Structure 1
Amino acid sequence: MLNVAGTATNTQEAAVRIAIDPRPPIEFAQEYAPLRYAPEDRYSYYSPGNGTVNVFLTDTMPVEARAIGEPFPAGFLVMIQFQKALVNFDSTGNPLWSFPSAGRFVTVNDDEIFVSDIDDVHVVDVLDTTGQKTAVLRFDREVNYAKAVGDRLIVVYNDVGPAEVFRWGPDHRLGEKLFSSVNVSYGRSAELSGDRIAIADTYGQQVVVQSISSGAVQFESPAAFPNGITWRGDFLYVVEEHLDRVVALNLGDGSKHVVLAPPTPDRWNSGMTLSGLVDGYCGEGTAYPRSIASDICSGEFTLYAPNGIHLEQDGMWVADTDNARVIYVGADHKMSILTGLNGPVNVVPIH
């Protein structure tokens, strides 16, 4: 059976709420570590003042990934946006199989894998654990993200409008619509935790938590282009793409904790916003310089326009998109790296 690591761990659903530890369950100190690999210079990345450069989309581009450092704690799936492929890697970074996709997302539920279709972004393909297509789901709106959790399916769309939750069954058929959220703008992920749904309202630059049963908005917090999002107890771990970091939001007191970021003081300031960010350059004299957040400038312990996230009990997976890699950071700052990926936007560990 395929199980997602770190799904809804320590979620408190008791009638009587107990006090929660105000510290995030996982937090990594600011640190610099020199590179043990040659940085990728062919693939796409964000250049301050210039936008994204080296963009080329093709499903015929070879995947030339290479593993660095510690073995990963599990095999994993990576959605590689600009190579238009979902690839299944083993824990040593060897590819096992691939599936063509439009490159928007990958999620799993037990033995089912959900990916965006390569030809039609209104379609979600359902795969088995060997990468074979078993079902097709079609929607009226373009889909940015779909994830089944037990007997419910979350769908987030590439427009301004509500995210939705449907009944989901073993026959791969959508059931009744159970929930429509408040309007969000081009959201890129959402996660269920009991009666709560957390939505990354990406272009609305906020995170929203609603009750599915009542529809009440229970929590809102600004975020700098949130992409990946996941629950751990009463914390929400959020990938802030444009601040190059992962933060943990405490739903109990509303505080924000920086969990992983480039080793620069501004990005470790939990109150930092895009309006206050002065982005440094890395590589003087180049036509399209990289951000100071790049691994070229900040070493291994950094993030550069990251997207997807998953938690283990004592570590964290991140799709470090503009560094062209996937990383796992575990206890004692042990790091596993798979580099050489053109635009990895989601990573899902499998056990």
Structure 2
Amino acid sequence: MTEFTRRQILGAPLAAIAPRKRYSYYAPAIRSTVSEDVHWTPARPPVMKGEQFNMVIACDYAKRIYGIIGGRQAWYKDFELWPRGMSLCEGLLYVIDDPLIVALDPMTGVPVLKIEVPGYHARLNAVHVARVFGELRLTLCFDRGGDTTMSPGESVHCFRLMNGILLDPYLCTINSIHPRDACMTRAGQLLVADTFGNQVLLIDPARDELISVADEYFPNSVQELQDGWVLVCSEHGNRVIRWNPSTSERRMIFSAPIYPFNDIRMGSERIRELEVGTSDPDSDVAPARSLCAIQNAGLATLYSPNSARQRDGAILVADTDNHRVIVLRDGSIVTDVTGLNNPVNAVWL
């Protein structure tokens, strides 16, 4: 634990999530999120402690995104539906506002562009925008899959983005189940967090073929790193890992200090079998919350994290069921943002 963690964080997250309001949480014994009466918005701005970073945070049950600049809330924007998907590219913040994509000025939160989605057919989970081979590419994940997908090509769509219009759709026929993140790589390949399929997919769009697969329990976000590895946030695996698509090697970055989540050898099926035994026997709520919660595991933990993004050696994590956002460096927490209700995504500014 860093000196910052000892002196400045200690006690803050617990105070920030005191039961003045009901918070959602994942109950391992029933393998489900308890989310009754949790839709409310904090009355006060979030509080950042530790090293200061600029970021945008999306909180779905609060129906709000926050722009944090200079360590403080600079702006916020409320949504009618639950915000989740966000992507920053070339000075614009792209945000899902079903059934549209809205581009905001990331420094003010002011909308500057609305983008219609061709073939919109289900709620959107994720948007990613990047320049690939000189062109802007926008990738969308639809909340489809499994029993609700009757034909291929319904879960992940990729487009060229030109003058605010989406063109030349590629409908990925390699099915994924309720994917919550996908992106085009620098080489023009497609990375997909097949969330309910418990795997990460690397796909060749030119041939519509699967290149590589990683087994991971509820992957919620994926990011291609400069060295060819992929950063993966495993929601109910309660960890952030790195995966090498070329060698299939996996490395632990940070996890809840609870078995089996802290064992990189554990795959999705085994974690699913063992997670029912990770309920807090002294939980003050029913069904019981997980031992991964900070109330049980301490501050150096993760509880159903929904996103992880790396920049310059620092990793920004939406620690969803601990209702905070943290920044990791060298395996330690250096920044902690509290006063949030269910943060599901965080991106660097």
Q: What's the TM-score, normalizing by structure 2?
A: 0.83
Residues 111-126 of structure 1: pairs in structure 2 closer than 5 A: 111-117=91-97, 121-126=98-103
Q: 1:207 — aligned with what?
A: 200
Equivalent residue for 1:282, pick from 277, 280, 283 = 280
Equivalent residues of 1:146, 1:154 under 8 A apart: yes
Question: Counterpart amino acid of 2:141?
Answer: V
In structure 2, which of residues 149, 160, 178 is the aligned counterpart of residue 186 of structure 1? 178
Counterpart for residue 152 of structure 1: 137
CA contact (8 A) 1:60 1:83 kept: yes
Partner SS state of residue 327, structure 1: strand
> Structure 2: which amino acid aligns with 1:81?
D
1:225 corresponding residue in structure 2: 218
Structure 2 residue aligned with 1:136: 115
* Paired position in structure 2 for 1:308: 307
Count residues with an aligned counterpart: 314
On the 8 A contact 2:100/2:114 being kept in 1, the answer is no
- 8 Å CA contact 2:117–2:166 kept in 1: the answer is no
Residue in 1 that maps onto 2:165: 173
Measured on the aligned residues, the alpha-carbon RMSD in Å equals 2.4
Change (3 A) 1:104 1:344: same
* Structure 1: 5+ residue stretches without partners: 1-27
1:227, CA displacement in angstroms? Answer: 0.3
Q: Which moved more, 1:208-217 or 1:40-49?
A: 40-49
Alignment check: 8 A CA contact 2:300 2:333 kept: no
Report the counterpart of residue 100 of structure 1 in structure 2.
Answer: 78
Instruction: List 4+ stretches of structure 1 deviating above 4 A.
Output: 57-61
Tell me how far 1:157 sits from its aligned partner: 0.6
Q: Distance in 2 between matches of 1:56 and 1:109?
A: 35
Q: What is the letter of the counterpart of residue 209 of structure 2?
A: A
Give the Cα separation in 2 of the matches to 1:195 and 1:77: 27
The 2-side partners of 1:283 and 1:35 are apart by 24
Considering fraction of residues, name the structure with more helix. Answer: 2
Report the CA distance between 1:307 and its aligned residue.
0.5
Match of 2:54 in 1: 75
Distance 1:247 1:75 in 2: 23
Which stretches in structure 2 are left out of the alignment for 5+ residues?
146-153
Taking the aligned partners of 1:35 and 1:271, their CA distance within structure 2 comes to 31
Q: Please give the secondary structure, in 1, of the residue aligned with 2:236.
A: helix
- Judging changes above 3 Å, is the alpha-carbon distance between structure 1 residues 239 and 71 closer, same or farther for their aligned structure 2 residues? same
Shift of 1:303: 0.4
Name the amino acid aligned to 1:37: A
CA shift, 1:223, in A, is 1.5
The structural deviation recorded for 1:59 is 6.7
Contact 2:56-2:346 within 8 A present in 1 as well: yes
Amino acid at match of 1:154: T
Kindly tell me: are residues 54 and 275 of structure 1, through their superposed partners in 2, closer, same or farther at Cα, counting changes over 3 Å?
closer
Match of 1:241 among 235, 239, 247: 235
Alignment of 1:87 with 2:66, yes or no, is yes
Q: Is the 8 A contact 1:306 1:320 kept in 2?
A: yes
Say whether the 8 Å CA contact 1:127–1:135 is kept in structure 2. no
What is the TM-score normalised by the length of structure 1? 0.82
CA distance in 2, matches of 1:54, 1:162: 25
Q: 1:223 to 1:59 in 2, by over 3 A?
A: same
Alpha-carbon deviation of 1:107?
1.3
In structure 2, distance between residues paired with 1:307 and 1:189: 10
| Structure 1 residue 88, shift from structure 2 partner | 0.3
- State the structure with bigger RCO (CA 8 A, min sep 6), 1 or 2: 1
Give, in whole Å, the separation in 2 of the partners of 1:211 and 1:332: 33
